[in-house]
Chain A
Amino acid sequence: GAVVSQHPSWVICKSGTSVKIECRSLDFQATTMFWYRQFPKQSLMLMATSNEGSKATYEQGVEKDKFLINHASLTLSTLTVTSAHPEDSSFYICSAYAGVHEQYFGPGTRLTVT
């Protein structure tokens, strides 16, 4: 149980375009999901908290207008990277909150902006 999927697993896009990444909890409902970004050889950095039915909360330094988050249902959160630039190239990982300190992570999405 407690499976989280992400789609796509990797994506290449041109600078200036937008990319949407989906995060789904497959066998449980999650009112809260988290989005992380991980640069090569670095740790996971929390970008934002996605709350079902309400606005996402963003960590300091993360541009809310650039990283649009929509938590439309109890099993789906989406992250849209708008007007992507090469510096946005990274590994984006979502997680779904399933209980006290229980977060189940997706397999990640590798974004490359050319």
Chain B
Amino acid sequence: GQQLNQSPQSMFIQEGEDVSMNCTSSSIFNTWLWYKQDPGEGPVLLIALYKAGELTSNGRLTAQFGITRKDSFLNISASIPSDVGIYFCAGPVLGGYQKVTFGTGTKLQVIP
């Protein structure tokens, strides 16, 4: 199946540090989506990637669509306390028409 594995599973960082996380799959994806979920809330879309090799930024966040189409990366620069949350990658389900599948998630905690 189209499983999306994220690493690291969780991380503690100091405020101001940069963060990198990745998402890998055994299947090819044509779209990569990155979401953030705050505790007790639904996910919010951060960045969408549509082309292999694409690099897209949203403020301090930068995501890249891996050239193999089997991975994607999310970087957060100069982390702040409100970056705390769980970051999910997601991709469209093959033949699933509008459905997406979510990765395992990376829990980020920022130490002030």
Contact = CB atoms under 8 A, between A and B. Distances in A.
Interface of A: 4, 6, 32, 34, 42-46, 49, 91, 93, 95, 97, 101-108, 110
A95 B44 CA distance: 11
B42 A93 contact: yes
Nearest to A34: B99
Most chain B CB within 10 A, of A43, A97, A104, A105, is at A43
B42 to A, nearest CB: 3
Interface string B35-59: 0000011111100100000000000
Given A43-B103, A101-B92, A32 B43 contact: no
Interface of B: 31, 33, 40-45, 48, 88, 92, 98-105
29 contacts: A4-B42, A32-B98, A34-B98, A42-B105, A43-B105, A44-B88, A44-B102, A45-B102, A46-B99, A93-B43, A97-B98, A101-B31, A101-B33, A101-B48, A101-B92, A101-B98, A101-B100, A102-B45, A103-B45, A103-B98, A104-B45, A105-B42, A105-B43, A105-B44, A106-B42, A107-B41, A108-B41, A108-B42, A110-B40
Given A102-B45, A107-B40, A107-B41, 8 more contacts: A42-B105, A46-B99, A93-B42, A93-B43, A101-B33, A101-B98, A101-B100, A103-B45
Contacts of A105: 42-44
A57 to B, nearest CB: 9
Contacts of B44: 105
Nearest to A2: B45
B8 to A, nearest CB: 14
Contacts of A108: 40-42
A11 to B, nearest CB: 14
B73 to A, nearest CB: 18
B77 to A, nearest CB: 25
B70 to A, nearest CB: 18
Most chain A CB within 10 A, of B40, B44, B92, is at B40
B41 A46 contact: no
